[in-house]
Amino acid sequence: MKKLSVNIDHIATLRQARREEIPDPVHAAVLAELGGADGITVHLRKDRRHINERDLELLRKIVKTELNLEMAATSEMVKIALEIKPDIVTLVPERPEEVTTEGGLNIKRNYRVLEPIAQKIKSTGIRLSFFTEADQEQIAMAQKLGADLIEINTNLYSKEKKNPTNIISRISEHAQFAKELGLLVHCGHGINYQNIIPLLRINEISGFSIGFAIIARAVYVGLTKAVYEMKEIINRYSNKE
């Protein structure tokens, strides 16, 4: 069955809006797991605008599913990852001014910088993922760097309201390509309760990383229910393999 990793950054965003101690992303992780989340994702940013080291340390202790740490490929972040040992590290690009991650990592351009980082992460048994565009060259480079999985960026798809067919085909073809290379394929960014449905028909996609839509819904219905409802959609519309 396809997996759902719930990104809880925005719980911490709300906390930081008032520099308070609530709401606590650690509580959110527990509630998301109770709702059926198969994993918890957080992005530790250089500017610590939401998640911080305290969150990460506690999450490592209490997450019972899989902890996925999104981070930039910097020496500071690698040091933290090696100490915390999340189950998965997803390398993402990061620009200080961006509101959210803007695109896939340019693995080809940064290959030399990424090589020693990938080796270090893999040597500790952490599974390695790259956030990438649906692009054969980038995916092949991720595999060459020892990736266990890739996360295909669905941002463009989520923005295309009129005719998403071509983008879905592109995602599907690249998911197939990645799977043939032996990679697990996840996708994420901008996925919500409606636009996930066509993606669920792509057999090669085995997991989703979803944040904003679930946290926004949680404001009204509670986090456990918001996660449960997304899981229900995933289970109902997935092709039965």
Residues catalogued as catalytic: 43, 70, 189
Q: Residue 51 interacts with ligand PXP (CB under 6 A)?
A: no
* Residue 137 three-state SS: helix
- Least distance (Å) between residue 49 CB and ligand PXP: 11
Q: Residue 100 interacts with ligand PXP (CB under 6 A)?
A: yes
Q: Residue 68 interacts with ligand PXP (CB under 6 A)?
A: no
Q: Residue 190 interacts with ligand PXP (CB under 6 A)?
A: yes
Residue whose entry in the numeric block shows the structure tokens 């100490």: 83
Dihedral sign, Cα of residue 28, residue 30, residue 35, residue 40 = positive
How many residues does this entry show for the chain?
241
State which of residues 8, 210, 226, 234 lies at the interface with ligand PXP (CB under 6 A).
Answer: 210
Nearer to ligand PXP, 22 or 99 (CB): 99
Q: Residue 9 interacts with ligand PXP (CB under 6 A)?
A: yes
Nearer to ligand PXP, 101 or 224 (CB): 101
The CB density around residue 87, as the number of other CB atoms within 10 Å, is 16
3-state helix, strand, coil in the chain (%, to 5): 45, 15, 35
User: Residue 67: which H helix or E strand, with range?
Assistant: strand 67-71
Q: Residue 86 interacts with ligand PXP (CB under 6 A)?
A: no
User: Nearest-CA neighbor of 213 among 236, 196, 234?
Assistant: 196
Q: Residue 92 interacts with ligand PXP (CB under 6 A)?
A: yes
Q: What's the CA gap between 70 and 36, in Å, rounded?
A: 21
Site for ligand PXP in 10-39 (CB under 6 A): none
| Mutual angle of helices 75-84 and 53-62, in 10-degree steps | 30
User: Residue 187: which H helix or E strand, with range?
Assistant: strand 184-188
Q: What is the dihedral of CA 205, 209, 211, 214, to 10 degrees?
A: 50
- Least distance (Å) between residue 240 CB and ligand PXP: 25
* Interface mask toward ligand PXP for 134-153; x: CB under 6 A: -----------------x--
Nearer to ligand PXP, 100 or 123 (CB): 100
- Please give the single-letter amino acid code of residue 112: R
- Least distance (Å) between residue 88 CB and ligand PXP: 12
State which of residues 130, 131, 157, 177 lies at the interface with ligand PXP (CB under 6 A).
Answer: 131
Tokens linked to 97:
């001014």
Residue whose entry in the numeric block shows the structure tokens 């509580």: 27
- Given the rule CB under 6 A, which of 32-40, 77-85, 174-182, 210-218 is the region that contacts ligand PXP? 210-218
Q: Residue 208 interacts with ligand PXP (CB under 6 A)?
A: no
Binding site for ligand PXP (CB under 6 A): 7, 9, 43, 70, 92, 100-101, 131, 151, 188-191, 209-213
